[in-house]
Amino acid sequence: MKLSLHHEGSVFDTVVRPHLDSSIGKISHRLYGHFAEHLGKCSYGGFWVGTDCNKAEHVDGFRKNVLDALKAMPTPFLRWPGGCYADHYHWQDGIGKERLSRLGMSCGLSSEDDNTLGTHEFLDFCDRIGAEPYLAGNMGSGSVQELCDWIEYTNCAVSTKLTRTRKDNGRQHPWNVRVWGVGNESWGCGGNYTAEHYAVEYRRYATMLRHVDPSVELVVVGFEADWNRRVLELLKGHHDLVSHFSIHRYWINGGPGSKFSEEQYYTLIQEADDTEKFVVETRAILDEVAPEGSKHIGIALDEWGVWHPEVREWGPDGTHSKDVNNYEQAGTMRDAIAAAVCLEGFHRQCKSLSMANLAQVVNVLHAPIMASDDGFCLTPTYHLLHMHAGHINAEALKVSVDSKAKLPLGTPAVSATASQKDGGLTVTVVNRSYSVAHNVLVEVPATGDIKGYLLAASNPADQNTPAEPDKVTLKEFEVNRVDKGVGLTLPPASIVTLEVR
Ligand code: AHR
């Protein structure tokens, strides 16, 4: 028998109304992007175990359960190889038969990278999981020529020494990778550039890269307001060289990963909600300093998510020492709620935000998947992303939420997002409350089949582990119509998606 959330009564504390004729814009597949760095066990030991591996089931070196889970999630966009790692990465080490073993460095970690995961393997992986690739170029220890060469190698159809090498290495046709990062956090780990120095260098890089392939979309490194203003000022007259403006946002104020208090629960949810404000503020700077660029420059939130104190030595409550940090943290129901709240903002900002990449895709930080040779599980955030599949490439709709239900901070307890695609409607409703259930009426068209999916846990601190992989899972429930829509009792800290087809 299917689960029921049906609310029989006629009293609802919340009414969710999607405005079917009021589109905000298209929710690009790039807003559901992910990020894979050579850090901890995200790339090596995560999705890539190598072709010689006999400890894990794999397909041509890709861990089989991760491959299948990413395909199903879905994973439409993937950034690689960093992060901070990108500014040490030399792509030529990772092609051909002889791979150069190097010191892999990022975020205070260093280990041997045998470079068996290189350009061909990564782009092949993207093909297999249905992801558009986003390559992050090295502006820290690399050169303009090195990045020009990478673009020539991947995108050029003209016969040259590099493209003949590509063919010798097994790839006949160019991949045509569209999105390229020019440095990463260049104000910090990417070289401690000043805004002035970075802007001048960016101009040179971008000019030369566009000569190699005029159609590449280039991502400039942004940061906080002051850096953003200065970089944009210095790029005046050259804003056509910028396609996306990168900003990063990690939520760090919610206390421990799983042993958090109710107050800390709400702090994290609020921080996630404020991500939208950061996007809006960054857009305002673009409008002010680069009005001509603001028309075509998208905001790239190419790292986002929760970074718990157990895996950082910096910031509030940071408790981990640098030496032994593997960046593997708890992934609870609270983190999934935070991600759901943040995605509502992405939908509202879908005209301004051109991409967003959750950090990171396997094992590291806010990971949807935990995988090693010893075990595997999907986190609640995985299930949350899976239940959002209907929103990808759909038209985001305006939604009104009329509610008496409030959180202790006075903000609404219930929030929602909706989108339309191929004549179907998808509505996702979040009950942000730590401990209170809410009766919600979701207005939907009078006709059409409706499927309902619930993500909930008995406690917001619940998480899945390889030993207990199904503690928090997605459940389909019985949908019963009431007058005007669907009446639901949403458990505390839960997410519901209705698909009307
Ligand atoms: O995602 C981990 C790190 O966070 C990335 O390498 C870096 O870009 C950011 O500081």
Q: Clarify whether 185 is annotated catalytic.
A: yes
CA of 478 to the centre of ligand 1 (A): 42
CA of 185 to the centre of ligand 1 (A): 8
- What single string gives the DSSP state of each residue in 319-354? ---STT-------BHHHHHHHHHHHHHHHHTTTTEE
User: For position 317, what pLDDT does the model report?
Assistant: 87
CB atoms within 10 A of CB 362: 24
Atom of ligand 1 minimally distant from the CA of 190: 8
pLDDT digits (tens, 9 = 90+) for 204-251: 999 999 999 999 999 999 999 999 999 999 999 999 999 999 999 999
Nearest to 275 by CA among 296, 297, 242, 247: 247
Facing residues of 113 across strands? 102
User: For position 277, what pLDDT does the model report?
Assistant: 98
Residue with the nearest Cα to atom 5 of ligand 1?
A: 83
Residue with the nearest Cα to atom 7 of ligand 1?
A: 83
User: For position 110, what pLDDT does the model report?
Assistant: 86
Give the integer Cα–Cα distance in Å for 53 and 114: 14
Within 8 A by CB and 6+ apart from 410, the residues are: none
Strands (E), 94-209: 102-106, 109-113, 132-137, 179-182
User: For position 307, what pLDDT does the model report?
Assistant: 97
User: For position 322, what pLDDT does the model report?
Assistant: 62
Coil, strand or helix: which one is 372? Answer: strand
Which residues of the chain carry a pLDDT beneath 50?
none
Out of 37, 271, 276, 303, which one is annotated catalytic? 303
Q: Which residue has the tokens 């590291």?
A: 364
User: For position 9, what pLDDT does the model report?
Assistant: 67
pLDDT digits (tens, 9 = 90+) for 348-373: 999 999 999 999 999 999 999 999 99
CA distances from 480 to 1, 17, 150, 452, 491 (A): 14, 17, 55, 10, 17
Give the integer Cα–Cα distance in Å for 459 and 450: 28
User: For position 293, what pLDDT does the model report?
Assistant: 83
Cis peptide bond prior to 174, omega within 30° of 0:
no
CB atoms within 10 A of CB 212: 16
What H or E segment, with its residue span, contains residue 251? strand 244-251
The answer to whether 350 and 25 are in contact (CB under 8 A) is: yes
Atom of ligand 1 minimally distant from the CA of 85: 6
Residue with the nearest Cα to atom 8 of ligand 1?
A: 83
Coil, strand or helix: which one is 376? Answer: strand
CA of 83 to the centre of ligand 1 (A): 5
User: For position 190, what pLDDT does the model report?
Assistant: 97
User: For position 10, what pLDDT does the model report?
Assistant: 67
Q: Clarify whether 224 is annotated catalytic.
A: no
User: For position 32, what pLDDT does the model report?
Assistant: 99
Out of 37, 121, 185, 310, which one is annotated catalytic? 185
Atom of ligand 1 minimally distant from the CA of 86: 6
Within 8 A by CB and 6+ apart from 238, the residues are: 203, 206
pTM of this structure: 0.97
Give the integer Cα–Cα distance in Å for 119 and 96: 10
Q: Give the phi and the psi of residue 260 in degrees, each rounded to 5.
A: -100, 155
Ligand 1 site, CB within 6 A: 37, 82-84, 106-107, 184-185, 303, 359-360, 365
Atom of ligand 1 minimally distant from the CA of 106: 6
Give the integer Cα–Cα distance in Å for 84 and 80: 11
